[in-house]
Amino acid sequence: MSLPAIRIESVTKRYGALQALDGVSLEVAQGEFFGLLGPNGAGKTTLISALSGLVRPTSGTLEVMGHDVVTDYRCARLKLGVVPQELVFDPFFSVRELLRIQSGYFGIRSNDDWIDEILVSLDLRAKAEANMRTLSGGMKRRVLVAQALVHRPPVIVLDEPTAGVDVELRQGLWQFIRKLNRDGHTIVLTTHYLEEAEQLCGRIAMLKAGRIVALDRTDDLLRRFATHSLRVRLSNPDCVPGLGGSVEVGNWASFRFDTYADVEPLLARLRQSGAGVEEIELGEPDLERVFVEVMNRA
């Protein structure tokens, strides 16, 4: 069995009275696209910061590609690329200067070929010589991604990379990140856009108050926690409350059910009640519902 890309063992972090992380343990396999979800203040950024050495854990161990992030920090940091949540930049330098400097920090002297490749991939080529101050927010976000990739890390952590980013850039960014994942990179993503996490992540951990409250394959989480939905437009929706559904605007009503086998009996009851079914929509289980369910139970 190959070495896990990330191994986190019983990690706690305390800031005074605040328990930011409370015994977090998880492993991410090499090549995985892993989602780290949770409400604000759940501990996602603290966990990422502990992994990248920005935060020192109170107890527990964290490893990147088998390298302890404290005792073997040089190797661990070489294997890790982090795209921070905040839109931070150094106003003194151009995009290319910044990427060359970042390469140097990671001990790489001549990196222009790879820098050019990243600039093209992230559609930043035209802005290569522009000062960071002159870039739009979206462009700065792309530079953050580029900076995380200059040393070709096998593990990439993206902390809410699409916060405040327009649709076009978001799609372009995900296309690029997907390609990196296909090429073998391990991707760890935190996001509040649960639809993105559902589409991208093969496995998901959910954090609440510094603890992992769910950790499973995305498909299994959807199967375990989410229910299907049936929306119907009725000519007479009066019977809906009696049948366990809820009435919405425009004579629409919605019902939740566990398996598709429940649909036919439900439609039969509606017909018997004289509701007059005019239109039908079937809804798949979604991660947002899973998230709400898990957080309510935890």
How many residues does the structure list for the chain?
298
C-alpha distance from residue 226 to each of 91, 231, 295 (Å): 46, 16, 13
Tell me the sheet residues that pair with 188. Answer: 34, 157
Considering only CA atoms, which of 48, 12, 53 is closest in space to residue 28? Answer: 48
- What is the distance, to the nearest Å, from the Cα of residue 187 to the centroid of all Cα atoms in its chain? 9
Considering only CA atoms, which of 134, 186, 273, 214 is closest in space to residue 5? Answer: 186
Shortest Cβ 190–another protein spacing (Å): 16
How many chain residues bind another protein (CB under 8 A)?
42
Q: Binding another protein by CB under 8 A: which of 3, 10, 71, 90?
A: 90
Tell me which residue has tokens 């639809």: 195
Q: Does 193 bind another protein (CB under 8 A)?
A: no
Binding segment toward another protein, per CB under 8 A, in 35-43, 146-154, 218-226, 229-237: 146-154
Q: Does 82 bind another protein (CB under 8 A)?
A: yes
End-to-end CA distance of the chain: 33
Residue 218 CB coordination number (10 Å):
20
Shortest Cβ 203–another protein spacing (Å): 19
Mask 5-44, x = binds another protein (CB under 8 A)?
Answer: ----------x-----------------------------
Integer Cα distance of 134 and 296 in angstroms: 44
Integer Cα distance of 234 and 81 in angstroms: 53
Shortest Cβ 13–another protein spacing (Å): 8
Shortest Cβ 1–another protein spacing (Å): 17
Shortest Cβ 192–another protein spacing (Å): 20
Cβ(25)–Cβ(212) under 8 Å?
A: yes
Q: Does 176 bind another protein (CB under 8 A)?
A: no
Rank residues 86 and 220 by Cβ distance to another protein and give the closer one.
86
Rank residues 89 and 252 by Cβ distance to another protein and give the closer one.
89
Cβ(117)–Cβ(179) under 8 Å?
A: no
Q: Binding another protein by CB under 8 A: which of 154, 172, 202, 283?
A: 154
Give the containing element (helix H, strand E) for 178. Answer: helix 167-182
Binding to another protein in span 103-132, by CB under 8 A: 103-109, 111, 114
Q: Binding another protein by CB under 8 A: which of 1, 40, 91, 242?
A: 91
* Interacting residues with another protein (CB under 8 A): 15, 49, 52-56, 73-75, 77-78, 80, 82, 84, 86, 88-93, 97, 101-109, 111, 114, 147, 151-154, 183-185
